[in-house]
Amino acid sequence: MIREREQLMQQLMELLRREKKSDIAVLISQYQPADIAEILTELETHYRGTVFQLLSRETAAMVLEELEVLDESVIFNLVESLGAKYLADIINEMASDDAADLLGRLPQETREIILELMQHEEAVDVQELLEYDVQSAGGIMTTEYVAIRKDITAGRAIDVLREIAPEAETVYYVYVVDVKNKLVGVITLRELIVANPHALIESIMHRKVISVTVDMDQEEVARVVSKYNFLAVPVVDKDNSLLGIITVDDVIDVIYEEASEDIYLLGGSTELSDQDQSIMAKALKSRLPWLFITMLEGLIAGTVLRGLERELSAVVALAFFIPLLTGMGGNVGTQSATIAVRGLAVGQIDTGDVFRVAARETLTGITLGLINGLIVAVIAALWQNSFVLGVIVGLAMLGNMTTAALMGTLVPIAFKKWGIDPAVASAPFITASIDITGLLIYSTLASFLIGFLL
Amino acid sequence: MIREREQLMQQLMELLRREKKSDIAVLISQYQPADIAEILTELETHYRGTVFQLLSRETAAMVLEELEVLDESVIFNLVESLGAKYLADIINEMASDDAADLLGRLPQETREIILELMQHEEAVDVQELLEYDVQSAGGIMTTEYVAIRKDITAGRAIDVLREIAPEAETVYYVYVVDVKNKLVGVITLRELIVANPHALIESIMHRKVISVTVDMDQEEVARVVSKYNFLAVPVVDKDNSLLGIITVDDVIDVIYEEASEDIYLLGGSTELSDQDQSIMAKALKSRLPWLFITMLEGLIAGTVLRGLERELSAVVALAFFIPLLTGMGGNVGTQSATIAVRGLAVGQIDTGDVFRVAARETLTGITLGLINGLIVAVIAALWQNSFVLGVIVGLAMLGNMTTAALMGTLVPIAFKKWGIDPAVASAPFITASIDITGLLIYSTLASFLIGFLL
């Protein structure tokens, strides 16, 4: 596969140097839009416009849809080398949701120029879509759906589909609307082709239509589509008027995007870090803020330990258990936070569940604390030949794990309730807070029990 | 939505108590299979069989497909209360991939009884599917695809579709095969309905078919379907013979499953932790092994610190910076590991990239180490009024962050190369190893430079 790609690139470069445009067009036409987009990205900047111009309008539109996901700098190249009018003509051909996504990423000035140059009807559609929150159903829906009236026949419906098939994002679901554009039914193309051609849509359509509202969060939309195995879901407003549809390919992008976002936040960095060294600045920007939070909390932890100065100088062995306590507390806290974040993301937990979930996690924390506390108590006592040190470390472990499990669960749920992405309550944030409380517990226990050590 | 569900459950319980079977059938028929599956899960055990028996065979099959995702204990209930023959009849109606998934989860004895009772042809299909690795293309494909010959007309192809529509998993892609069942083309239903009914398939089909091989990893399959925005992808063997198809709904399940798996492993627990307290044992089982690893490494870290005993008793302040050093090193390591794990999962990094990626991350680690090392050096020097302590802490931070970034990157890539899920190289594993190396660096620096402190 990789070798095949290399060969293709060599062949293409050769043809570009010899300016064999018709050969290039033939070569490129054998590939899927997603592949052509990748090829464009790999090409030298000044060749991109040449190749793009050789694509048919329909293909060019589909390639632009794919490019948008890959690398926006390629799009800037194309705007520069081909001009806004050329792009505007192709954006006219794009699905409205992809056109809106694309334009939404361009600088405002370029966006307005292109919108001016587009067909009026398309431009209006796209401008409306641009106004929705990008993370909402409105932000990912397309207006190219197929809607029919309920008083036509199945045969006529297929004729309608034939006419609008080239325009529509999907023809596999046909939505049925009344005169006020309210959604009253749905029928699949599969059902239409097996139906008697003379049957009225009204008599064969499904009346219970599952839809999403235009302001629903995209994560929730993805859950609906996934739960019902839909290929698309209709988007309606408060009055059940049909505004658009969201297709399964966009849902897949949402699932990948949300999972990546959660994974990065849990790992303590904010965004996707790309491959090139050139984006070092971007990497630092996404990672440094989390490190500064950790630094602040590390210094607080140091201050807590300073309160233990007298005990530490008397019993240096107390210091040996600091990494053990913070490491294990951090682990329990991260586990609980992960379970809470994922539970909230896939809809297993909702913010109303707080008491039940907190009780369960506290119990888990106590159990884990008892098991691990007992083990480390025995080890500490034997290793340092001190029963009291064993008691201090063991009790600290119990207290630490219980609070860690509770904090790891409550912080993400609280964040969700306050409208913050719960994955922000991520590894560094949770572990650092747990370090501080764990050391407070340890210091307190040590200063109370130290008399028995000396 | 939740209130609606509660009302439904009350209504249903009332009807069940009064044994109004036909009313129950009418009520339940208004819901989607995914909803009926949820309702069954919420129902008291002894009512599940009653409700399930009221479903049509087709609906019952779709409900079973959904149940399989939700809670396998419900399926055991149904086997017990309705008997294996009843289930076998319904499993006959299921898509072969879902039937295989379902049977794969049942105890071997039950599975064999049901396979005996199923229609021969279906049972053979399912048994073949059961032999593929569950994480491979073969493990998620279905054999209910639509395949035609290239020498028929578009009109005839639609007639074929009409006949097999009720059986096929999707009718939206029609695959074209030769006499030896080799995949030679594909055409969408959308293209078929707009085509001239007299056109030969051969003249309108796509000849470049993107397919996956039967042994391809399911994560890779998901990437192909997502990249090309497919509704299904054909599965072929080495000789390009068509074996089955994988539909987009199954791909969505794979993406959720793989993302969850990575998230849990990165968070340091192995599997999905359910809601109930009753599964406490399961929670402990998935979390304790990771805690024991952390414990072992915490004890090693303690041993490392023991080597610093003399220095610690002389300069207790050295202990104050332990949480800061381990916390920040752990953070950098987790960030790097997250980026590596996600990069490997979405295909941005492959194991051949090791030098390029390692070089980049080392550079990032050094940069982060210089910035943070300088800051903490100044803080440490001012706070403890000791220039040398500042130098020790600052240098330790630099060394710690550089090795943390490098280890965080290399360990997941190495795991991938050895065929282990890279997400296993997860937060607790990475942070604990980084704790140890970080403390080794700190101890070494401290013991060399301590002379200047005293």
Give CA angle at B72 (B271, B80), nearest 5°: 150
End-to-end CA distance of chain A: 70
In the prediction, which pLDDT does A186 show? 95
pLDDT digits (tens, 9 = 90+) for B101-148: 888 878 888 888 889 999 988 899 899 999 998 889 999 999 889 999
Return d(Cα A341, Cα A264) in angstroms, integer. Answer: 12
Give CA angle at A436 (A430, A440), nearest 5°: 140
Within this chain, do residues A359 and A413 fall inside the same structural domain, yes or no?
Answer: yes
Cβ separation of B255 and A255 shorter than 8 Å?
Answer: yes
Within this chain, do residues A190 and A101 fall inside the same structural domain, yes or no?
Answer: no
Return d(Cα B88, Cα B90) in angstroms, integer. Answer: 5
Share of chain B above pLDDT 90, in %: 29
Q: Which of A266, A306, A323 sits opposite B301 (nearest CB)?
A: A323
Give CA angle at A317 (A314, A322), nearest 5°: 115
Cβ separation of B226 and A256 shorter than 8 Å?
Answer: yes
Of A230, A188, A203, the closest CA to residue B161 belongs to A188
Other residues' Cβ atoms within 10 Å of the Cβ of residue B430: 29
Assigned token pair, A389: 């040190």
Q: For residue A432, give the CATH number of its domain.
A: 1.10.357.20
Cβ separation of B166 and A194 shorter than 8 Å?
Answer: yes
Test the A interface: residue of B328, B400, B409, B435 with most A CBs within 10 Å = B328
Which residue type is seen at A215?
D
Stretch A341-365: mean pLDDT, rounded? 81
Provide φ and ψ at B175, rounded to 5°.
-95, 145
End-to-end CA distance of chain B: 70
Cβ separation of B331 and A294 shorter than 8 Å?
Answer: yes
Most confident stretch, A355-359, A412-416, B139-143, B411-415? B139-143
Of A343, A398, A395, A396, the closest CA to residue B283 belongs to A343
In the prediction, which pLDDT does A279 show? 57
Average pLDDT of chain A, as a whole number: 85
Stretch B167-192: mean pLDDT, rounded? 91
Q: Is pLDDT above 70 for B274?
A: no
Within this chain, do residues B224 and B311 fall inside the same structural domain, yes or no?
Answer: no
Q: Among A97, A131, A165, which residue terminates a domain? A: A131
Stretch B79-97: mean pLDDT, rounded? 86
Cβ-Cβ contacts under 8 Å for B100 (sequence gap 6 or more):
B126, B129, B130, B139
pLDDT digits (tens, 9 = 90+) for A1-30: 556 777 888 888 888 888 888 888 888 888
Domain of A105, in residue numbers: 2-131
Q: Is pLDDT above 90 for B79?
A: no
In the prediction, which pLDDT does B272 show? 47
Other residues' Cβ atoms within 10 Å of the Cβ of residue B228: 15
Return d(Cα B188, Cα A231) in angstroms, integer. Answer: 14
Stretch B216-239: mean pLDDT, rounded? 93
Stretch A172-201: mean pLDDT, rounded? 93
Looking at per-residue pLDDT, the higher value among A290 and A17 belongs to A17
> Of A419-428, B198-207, B272-281, B368-377, which gets the smallest average pLDDT?
B272-281
Within this chain, do residues A195 and A122 fall inside the same structural domain, yes or no?
Answer: no
Residues of B in contact with A337 (CB under 8 A): 267
Stretch B208-237: mean pLDDT, rounded? 93
Within this chain, do residues A112 and A185 fall inside the same structural domain, yes or no?
Answer: no
Cβ B312 vs Cβ B384: under 8 Å = no
Residue that the structure tokens 């391809």 belong to:
B216
Within this chain, do residues B163 and B118 fall inside the same structural domain, yes or no?
Answer: no
Give CA angle at A381 (A378, A383), nearest 5°: 100
Cβ B174 vs Cβ B192: under 8 Å = yes
For residue A202, CA distances in Å to A154, A177, A396, B26 come to 9, 11, 69, 20
Stretch A168-183: mean pLDDT, rounded? 91
Q: Which of B32, B263, B303 sits opposite A210 (nearest CB)?
A: B32
Cβ separation of A193 and B158 shorter than 8 Å?
Answer: yes
In the prediction, which pLDDT does B361 show? 86
Cβ separation of A432 and B327 shorter than 8 Å?
Answer: yes
Of B386, B402, B405, the closest CA to residue B450 belongs to B386
Other residues' Cβ atoms within 10 Å of the Cβ of residue B365: 27
Within this chain, do residues A110 and A16 fall inside the same structural domain, yes or no?
Answer: yes
Residues of B in contact with A316 (CB under 8 A): 309, 312-313
Looking at per-residue pLDDT, the higher value among B201 and A327 belongs to B201
Confirm whether B338 is domain-assigned. Answer: yes
In the prediction, which pLDDT does B356 show? 83
Share of chain A above pLDDT 70, in %: 94
Return d(Cα B230, Cα B248) in angstroms, integer. Answer: 7
Looking at per-residue pLDDT, the higher value among B443 and B6 belongs to B443
pLDDT digits (tens, 9 = 90+) for A438-453: 899 998 898 888 777 6
In the prediction, which pLDDT does B134 show? 86
Cβ separation of B291 and A331 shorter than 8 Å?
Answer: yes
Confirm whether A199 is domain-assigned. Answer: yes
Distance from CA of B278 to the nearest CA of A (A): 10
Within this chain, do residues B206 and B118 fall inside the same structural domain, yes or no?
Answer: no
In the prediction, which pLDDT does A276 show? 42
Return d(Cα A434, Cα A449) in angstroms, integer. Answer: 22
Average pLDDT of chain B, as a whole number: 85
Return d(Cα B208, Cα A1) in angstroms, integer. Answer: 14
DSSP bridge pairs for A241:
A182
Confirm whether B268 is domain-assigned. Answer: no
Stretch B159-171: mean pLDDT, rounded? 83
Q: Which of B331, B360, B379 sits opposite A428 (nearest CB)?
A: B331
Confidence of residue B72 (pLDDT cuts 50, 70, 90): low
Confirm whether B109 is domain-assigned. Answer: yes
**CB neighbour class for A128 (10 Å; exposed up to 12, middle 13-18, buried from 19):** middle
Q: Is pLDDT above 90 for A98?
A: no
In the prediction, which pLDDT does A287 show? 80
Domain count, chain A: 3
Within this chain, do residues B251 and B217 fall inside the same structural domain, yes or no?
Answer: yes
pLDDT digits (tens, 9 = 90+) for A309-330: 888 888 888 889 988 898 888 8
Return d(Cα A9, Cα A15) in angstroms, integer. Answer: 10
Within this chain, do residues A353 and A402 fall inside the same structural domain, yes or no?
Answer: yes
Residues of B in contact with A208 (CB under 8 A): 30-32
Confirm whether B142 is domain-assigned. Answer: no
Provide φ and ψ at B420, rounded to 5°.
-100, 145
In the prediction, which pLDDT does A273 show? 43
Q: Among B131, B162, B188, which residue terminates a domain? A: B131
Residue that the structure tokens 């290793």 belong to:
A383
Cβ separation of B34 and A371 shorter than 8 Å?
Answer: no
Q: For residue B93, give the CATH number of its domain.
A: 1.25.60.10
Q: Collapsing DSSP states into helix, strand and coil, what is residue A6?
A: helix
Within this chain, do residues B293 and B398 fall inside the same structural domain, yes or no?
Answer: yes
Q: Among A131, A160, A176, which residue terminates a domain? A: A131
Confirm whether B159 is domain-assigned. Answer: yes
Q: Is pLDDT above 60 for A44?
A: yes
Stretch A292-302: mean pLDDT, rounded? 84
Of B206, B212, B245, the closest CA to residue B227 belongs to B212
For residue A126, CA distances in Å to A97, A101, A111, A131, B35 come to 7, 9, 11, 9, 35
DSSP A245: E
Q: Is pLDDT above 50 for B174?
A: yes
Looking at per-residue pLDDT, the higher value among B405 and A264 belongs to B405
Give CA angle at A37 (A32, A43), nearest 5°: 125
Cβ separation of B327 and A435 shorter than 8 Å?
Answer: yes
Cβ separation of A251 and B249 shorter than 8 Å?
Answer: no
Within this chain, do residues B251 and B285 fall inside the same structural domain, yes or no?
Answer: no
In the prediction, which pLDDT does B247 show? 94
Share of chain A above pLDDT 90, in %: 29
Which residue type is seen at B444?
T
Confirm whether A217 is domain-assigned. Answer: yes
Q: For residue B194, give the CATH number of its domain.
A: 3.10.580.10
The side-by-side arrangement of strands in the sheet containing A242-247 is A212-213, A232-236, A242-247
As a three-state string, the secondary structure of B39-65 is HHHHCCHHHHHHHHHCCCHHHHHHHHH
Residues of B in contact with A30 (CB under 8 A): 208
Of B327, B309, B296, B294, the closest CA to residue B438 belongs to B327
Return d(Cα B54, Cα A354) in angstroms, integer. Answer: 37
Q: Collapsing DSSP states into helix, strand and coil, what is residue A113?
A: helix
DSSP labels, B206-257 = BSS---EETTSBHHHHHHHHHHTT-SEEEEE-TT-BEEEEEEHHHHHHHHHH
Distance from CA of A128 to the nearest CA of B (A): 25
- The size of chain A, in residues, is 454
Q: Is pLDDT above 90 for B43?
A: no
Share of chain B above pLDDT 70, in %: 94
Return d(Cα B205, Cα A14) in angstroms, integer. Answer: 30
For residue A155, CA distances in Å to A150, A227, A287, B174 come to 13, 31, 59, 21
DSSP bridge pairs for B235:
B212, B244
DSSP A31: S
Stretch A219-242: mean pLDDT, rounded? 93
DSSP labels, B363-427 = HHHHHHHHHHHHHHHHHHHHHTT-HHHHHHHHHHHHHHHHHHHHHHHHHHHHHHHTTS-GGGS-H
Q: Collapsing DSSP states into helix, strand and coil, what is residue A30?
A: coil
Confirm whether B411 is domain-assigned. Answer: yes
Return d(Cα B199, Cα A239) in angstroms, integer. Answer: 45
